[in-house]
Structure 1
């Protein structure tokens, strides 16, 4: 075994013995707050786009383009951001992206016309696109395997509540004046400032440092983490467990994502990401615009978004109790898709406004669970050297699906009604479910073990 492999094995063992203490939980939450900005963008643009379209006197379709160009920026950012995170480090990249996102959000609030806002939305999406695959990789790397799934989903269960909060803000702020939507961007930009300051205390991923041959840095970071943990528990940590898995060491370049076992895995993850986030954005972002196009007022569409957001947040809790049990990642995805299909069928059979609101709330919750599981599951299956690169490429596919969702949704709703929308959603869910059986279950498994023993 090489020196790099020995050091990485030592780091793995030391991470595996960590209990979840105040320090670990605070580190995890501060980093994971980046997901807030993803949820903020998804929810806010669904509410802001129709109002901004009226301000700039453009059509509803052109307003929807503001959503699409943001997602296109996220696509480009994800495609390059994962590679940058593998090359330059997780912490460095998510510090840079937060500065970019926050600054551009504040500048967007002052957009003088549609064209400027269009450009700023692309650039904002670019920085946010880099943030998410970096976070997915970082958070998976710093937690022990026995708790990785549960605490990942706890974070999502917390941050899902920002979706209805943002829609509620939209209901309060947007009706104040024709240009009150600008305050939504100011809120987002200001929020980035305290988070950037809090992130300065976060450690770099010790796994990434070890893989890059930064042996002393990796040991120093682990020593510091363990010092804080021991201060929290009031005693010395127990000896590290014996880790028998031999870490896989590969080159850190994009081509590795498409070679051998990685290539076969990517062939399944690309459509899973595409379809999962198509479904998520389809319901969370597209439906407000669809409802406006069908004659509902912007305020009514915001009420629908609020109901859907509450449903998503309330129903995001079950994965906390299932994802690290025998149900696992795949089982959690399966039950979310089954409940989604039943809810869609209920609206198809009983197409009333009341059923629409209830079914929409439940479906939003289930689609969110489905996407949240993919957030965690995908990065777990790749080796350390290319984890962020692969996640970024898969996330680019996710953003492509998200960018297409509003347009396909409007076309389907216009020609086939919301029944057609739900039938499309069922088909997308079933295809994703079938594809998920081709990727390995990762519950309670060390990241390096998942790669070494996977069947794909």
Structure 2
């Protein structure tokens, strides 16, 4: 890949970076964020459904873990394919299609008559969910002005806390109080199917992606709408399509093999290795813990309502975690913020694993939520910044896909670790994964305030 050419101050990239935060940005952020929240609601619901099905279907821990891991099998495949498709066909269309796939499959899960059918449906749900998340973060990052890009991606990721809180409320209010309440919970998860239509027709395609594809008139029209929203023109005049400089050709990165090869080229291989390590470790620790927390509390003697109530309180700490990370990521930078929050997650995990009183369980659980979800916000902010436009969604998708391998394995290991050493051993293992991720974070590029690489 050649070095990026010099681009003048009327380029698509520089005009986007020069904008203030406008109503058009808010529409992109909230439109993508609502899809993100619905994703979180679906994943969060599984943690509560598992606890209910263990009681209702008399499932073993191993059977319950397969329900959780099935979704992550689909997510691993979806993340890798979604990024590739988004670099080929555009961010917006892939975003909408993935929402439709997992929304319909989640609604169908409400009708599952047995373990096998539910596992198959969870794989399909995961295909859509896994593809949507890296595509959405790439999409928002390509509209965000450079000086606030990290903060906006953390705010996008904060919608995850809203969705997980909604799942906790459904788990607390619906699942224990209705006959087969878990079916009603899954039925509510079908909402994204309708929302997909709003995404497809209501949001613009990424102007950077359009420009990179040579569709300059369309890119110009999108940026002009953002400038109109801010009542400014990035160059002080209205430009013709011919005024937009063409992006540098990069034929070697247009094919599937080329885009994958870029990830391991000399320029990007350290970043890719670091990203894959962080994504793997964070997924293992996060999903191993949070998918199982309601069931672990239930197994420790708390009744279903109390274990769900504790989980709801713990979940509420996610929002301040995101808020602090959103502030620090533009003050400390990406790597420092990510590493500090991961170390905090490790310490909180040790305390949660050894907590013996209700107050200690809730306090340590809230600390784990605070630090872990703040780390997630920083990770989603830094990931798309490490690659050029031609490979950005591919790089983000493959990092997420590698992470999903860990999220498949983690729920399967929980019953065995609990049997050997109980919660102290389980959460000590999670703490170890957080610390490895904290170290690997220093292999990432920190592009705080810098424009995105438009090669």
TM-score, length-scaled by structure 1: 0.89
- Name the residue aligned to 2:287: 281
Relative to structure 1, the CA distance from residue 335 to residue 3 in structure 2 (aligned partners, 3 Å threshold; closer, same or farther) is closer
Q: 1:377-392 to 2 correspondence within 5 Å?
A: 377-392=382-397
Q: Give the Cα separation in 2 of the matches to 1:46 and 1:205.
A: 34
- Name the residue aligned to 1:406: 411
- Name the residue aligned to 1:331: 336
- The answer to whether the 8 A contact 2:50-2:64 is kept is yes
SS in structure 2 of the partner of residue 161 of structure 1: helix
How many residues of Structure 1 are paired with residues of Structure 2 in the alignment? 442
Q: CA deviation at 1:386?
A: 0.9
- Name the residue aligned to 2:114: 113
Structure 2 residues not aligned, in runs of 5+:
238-246
Q: CA deviation at 1:29?
A: 1.1
- The answer to whether the 8 A contact 2:42-2:106 is kept is no
Relative to structure 1, the CA distance from residue 217 to residue 3 in structure 2 (aligned partners, 3 Å threshold; closer, same or farther) is farther
Q: CA deviation at 1:256?
A: 2.2
Q: Give the Cα separation in 2 of the matches to 1:400 and 1:85.
A: 21
Deviations 1:85-121 (A, max 9, x none): 1111101101111221221122211122222221111
- The answer to whether the 8 A contact 1:50-1:289 is kept is yes
Q: CA deviation at 1:10?
A: 0.8
Relative to structure 1, the CA distance from residue 135 to residue 177 in structure 2 (aligned partners, 3 Å threshold; closer, same or farther) is same
Q: CA deviation at 1:407?
A: 2.6
Please state if 1:315 is matched with 2:317: no
- Name the residue aligned to 2:79: 78
Q: CA deviation at 1:279?
A: 1.8
Deviations 1:158-188 (A, max 9, x none): 4413323321221111112341111112212
Relative to structure 1, the CA distance from residue 42 to residue 77 in structure 2 (aligned partners, 3 Å threshold; closer, same or farther) is same
Q: 1:155-234 to 2 correspondence within 5 Å?
A: 155-194=156-195, 196-230=197-231
Q: CA deviation at 1:247?
A: 6.5
- Name the residue aligned to 1:103: 104
- The answer to whether the 8 A contact 1:4-1:210 is kept is no
Deviations 1:314-372 (A, max 9, x none): 332111211111x1112212332343344345457764332122101111221111122
Q: Give the Cα separation in 2 of the matches to 1:409 and 1:376.
A: 29
TM-score, length-scaled by structure 2: 0.89
Q: Give the Cα separation in 1 of the matches to 2:5 and 2:445.
A: 26
Relative to structure 1, the CA distance from residue 349 to residue 58 in structure 2 (aligned partners, 3 Å threshold; closer, same or farther) is closer
- The answer to whether the 8 A contact 1:161-1:309 is kept is no
Q: Give the Cα separation in 2 of the matches to 1:134 and 1:198.
A: 13
Please state if 1:290 is matched with 2:296: yes
Q: Give the Cα separation in 1 of the matches to 2:38 and 2:389.
A: 26
- The answer to whether the 8 A contact 1:333-1:433 is kept is yes
Q: Give the Cα separation in 2 of the matches to 1:8 and 1:412.
A: 57
Structure 1 residues not aligned, in runs of 5+:
241-245, 452-456
Relative to structure 1, the CA distance from residue 346 to residue 126 in structure 2 (aligned partners, 3 Å threshold; closer, same or farther) is closer
Q: CA deviation at 1:398?
A: 1.2
Relative to structure 1, the CA distance from residue 191 to residue 87 in structure 2 (aligned partners, 3 Å threshold; closer, same or farther) is closer
Q: Give the Cα separation in 2 of the matches to 1:210 and 1:298.
A: 53
Structure 1 runs (4+) deviating above 6 angstroms are: 1-5
Please state if 1:251 is matched with 2:256: no
Relative to structure 1, the CA distance from residue 248 to residue 7 in structure 2 (aligned partners, 3 Å threshold; closer, same or farther) is farther
Q: Give the Cα separation in 2 of the matches to 1:348 and 1:189.
A: 34
Q: Give the Cα separation in 2 of the matches to 1:188 and 1:86.
A: 28
- Name the residue aligned to 1:26: 27
SS in structure 2 of the partner of residue 260 of structure 1: coil
SS in structure 1 of the partner of residue 253 of structure 2: coil
- Name the residue aligned to 1:396: 401
SS in structure 1 of the partner of residue 204 of structure 2: coil
Relative to structure 1, the CA distance from residue 210 to residue 63 in structure 2 (aligned partners, 3 Å threshold; closer, same or farther) is same
- The answer to whether the 8 A contact 1:268-1:435 is kept is yes
Q: Give the Cα separation in 2 of the matches to 1:248 and 1:347.
A: 52
SS in structure 2 of the partner of residue 181 of structure 1: helix
Relative to structure 1, the CA distance from residue 57 to residue 24 in structure 2 (aligned partners, 3 Å threshold; closer, same or farther) is same
Shifted more, 116-125 versus 103-112: the winner is 103-112
Relative to structure 1, the CA distance from residue 73 to residue 362 in structure 2 (aligned partners, 3 Å threshold; closer, same or farther) is same
Relative to structure 1, the CA distance from residue 229 to residue 300 in structure 2 (aligned partners, 3 Å threshold; closer, same or farther) is same
SS in structure 2 of the partner of residue 407 of structure 1: helix
Aligned residue among 272, 277, 291 for 2:278: 272
Relative to structure 1, the CA distance from residue 371 to residue 247 in structure 2 (aligned partners, 3 Å threshold; closer, same or farther) is farther
- The answer to whether the 8 A contact 2:38-2:192 is kept is no
- Name the residue aligned to 1:243: none
